[in-house]
Amino acid sequence: MSRRARAVAVAVVAFGLGPADASGRPAEAPSERARDATAREVAAASDELARGLSGLRLPSAPAPYFTVARWIRAQVWSIAASYGGLVRDLHERQQVATVRVRVGAPERDDAGMLGADDTTVRFDPALETDPAYLRRRVWLAQDASFRHAARAYARKEGMLARLQVDVPIPDLGPPPPSRNDLSGPPPPPQVDREGLAQAARAASERFAARPEVDNGEVHVAIITDHFVTVTSEGAAFDRARTRALVAVVADMQAPDGMRVDHGRALHLATVPAADEAFERTLNELTDRVLQELVALAEAPRIDEAYDGPLLFEPEAAAQLLGVLVPSQASGTPPPLSESGRVLELEPAWQQRLGKIVMPPFVSLIDDPAADPFGGYPIDAEGFAPERLRLVDRGRLTSLLMTRTPGPVLRRSNGHARLTPALDVGTQISNLVLQAHARRRSRRALEGELLRRAREDGYDYAYVLESLRDDVLLGPPPRDSAGMMAGTGKVPLPLPARLWRIDRNGRRTLVRGAMLAPVAMRVLRRIRATGTRPVTLHLRLPVHARGPADHQLGVDAALSHTVDVTVTSPALIIDGFELLVERGEHERPPLLIHPLRQDAG
């Protein structure tokens, strides 16, 4: 299978199996012995952070005032099968740790500069708890981080003295409540590795029934981790998680030479059991992916650009909100550079607090307690997550805040999220779009869509069923599909399933369209909503500053993301532009595919 095909994965679909009903043995409580081992490591790290805070000094450099150490230990299972063969069956233990020293004072320190990421030092802790080893590595990491931070502080002071930059915003906000909450790592989960591998192999045999499909894989990925956070302010807390991904992915070449890919996934918060129900679900998922991929390859290409209204069905609407809202509703200020604030990286809604950003019949709520999948008891910095009414009947009333103060909001509201790779940044938890009016049935939505399209001079319109999930799919398989970008605008994923609807209501699946990058004001142009919201389970990267790169690929879909849900009804929105994707495509292979030859 090609390297490009391995990067392919899926748009999210509920498909009958979720965290609540995915069968897996209940997690056992951590043992006293495991809790004590974690406590000894925490004590060693805390002692070393305190010693570093009092002892790290350089001439003409500010003293350190805050240090945070984090470490994570994880077990990873990765299974992949293709055409009945097992191509990957891995079980490994992984671990990583970071130390970050801040120098100066909360009012002004070394943080907030573009390209100063080396102030966070990474190292590998021991696979098992080892206080003496961790103490030594924290000591070395503190020393390195302090030196990097001192240089960054001097560089920042020089920039601020040279530039006319007003910097009234503190660099670090108030600390969380004092917290010492350690539970220790839970026992390893029971994973039927052989059974899951056999189920994946059996499902992947179904690819042979579709000889027109070039590549296909069935993936089962599981990660169970335990992370610990310790700060020089005396906070210490940990958390254990189990996350799983079951995906079917495939790609093929359309008759005109265009490479197309497709897939679907189940996002789970428990270990799947290799029982008959799982096998049946996996087989159904495989059949659906193959059927939809072949239909996509055989679909006609669009032949002209379109800038009329679009109907986002609930899945596509939730995906759209998952792309637009998290990065643009972040309260983290843009970083400093040699030329001042990098305003191109400023979240679009950061300067819009108290202003209208959506229609008055729409609200956006992010509630960590609404769904266990996207919820969490404390955030990455030790704050309890707050329920946020981000948008109240069209008016922006809050932002996603970490401990880093923003231009208006100065305190955390518990939305700092942490990935297994120890990336820290803002992210939603359980985002819900509420429609207070203009709710329409499906038939009424299509009628209004066509009416608005006629007003724009079209006798047809487009319906987006789903967007390409770049977090799982990785980069698009065609260079011409990955060239969309724009200053001050948000690039959007490709349409995954796009339908052209004519004036008689007849739908035709089409391909070869791209969504042009958009400004956030496009959300003010929601014209109507459906009556039946859908909740999607998604894996999204965190946002440290500005829009993050979502094109991760299946192998990084668990390690560089956090769990979120997005709930939305269907939406009619004006202001988008569908462009025709133009580019040269590959010629079909000269040699007849063996499966196709046998089929003939």
**Secondary structure of residue 105 in the 3-state scheme:** strand
Measured CA to CA in angstroms, residue 214 lies from 29, 82, 260, 261, 468 at distances of: 46, 11, 10, 10, 19
Token readout for 191 is 């994973």
pLDDT per 10-residue tile (average), the chain, 600 residues = 35 34 47 92 97 95 97 97 96 97 96 84 96 97 97 92 80 92 90 97 95 93 97 96 95 92 93 96 96 96 96 98 94 87 87 96 97 96 97 98 93 96 96 96 96 96 94 79 63 95 95 94 97 96 65 87 97 96 78 64
**Strand partners for 77:** 91, 222
Containing 286, the helix (H) or strand (E) segment is helix 276-298
**Predicted pLDDT of residue 482:** 57
Structural contact between residues 553 and 361, judged by C-beta atoms closer than 8 angstroms? no
Rounded Cα distance between 401 and 424, Å, is 12
Rounded Cα distance between 447 and 444, Å, is 5
Which parts of 56-101 fold into alpha helices (H)?
none
**Predicted pLDDT of residue 542:** 92
**Predicted pLDDT of residue 21:** 35
Crossing angle of the two packed helices 276-298 and 193-204, in degrees rounded to 10? 30
Structural contact between residues 153 and 51, judged by C-beta atoms closer than 8 angstroms? no
Using a cut of 0.85, tell me whether the model's pTM lies above it: yes
Structural contact between residues 445 and 205, judged by C-beta atoms closer than 8 angstroms? no
Task: Kindly report, as residue ranges, where domains of CATH 3.30.2290.10 are found in the chain.
Answer: 3-298
**Predicted pLDDT of residue 489:** 85
Rounded Cα distance between 435 and 452, Å, is 20
Rounded Cα distance between 447 and 464, Å, is 15
Q: Please compute, for residue 475, the number of CA atoms within 13 A of its CA located in the half-sphere on the CB side.
A: 9
Q: Which residue has tokens 């069923």?
A: 465
Write phi, then psi, for 99 (nearest 5 degrees).
-135, 135
Rounded Cα distance between 407 and 9, Å, is 38
Four-way CATH pick for 3-298: 1.10.357.10, 3.30.2290.10, 2.60.120.580, 3.40.50.300: 3.30.2290.10
The amino acid that residue 40 corresponds to is: R
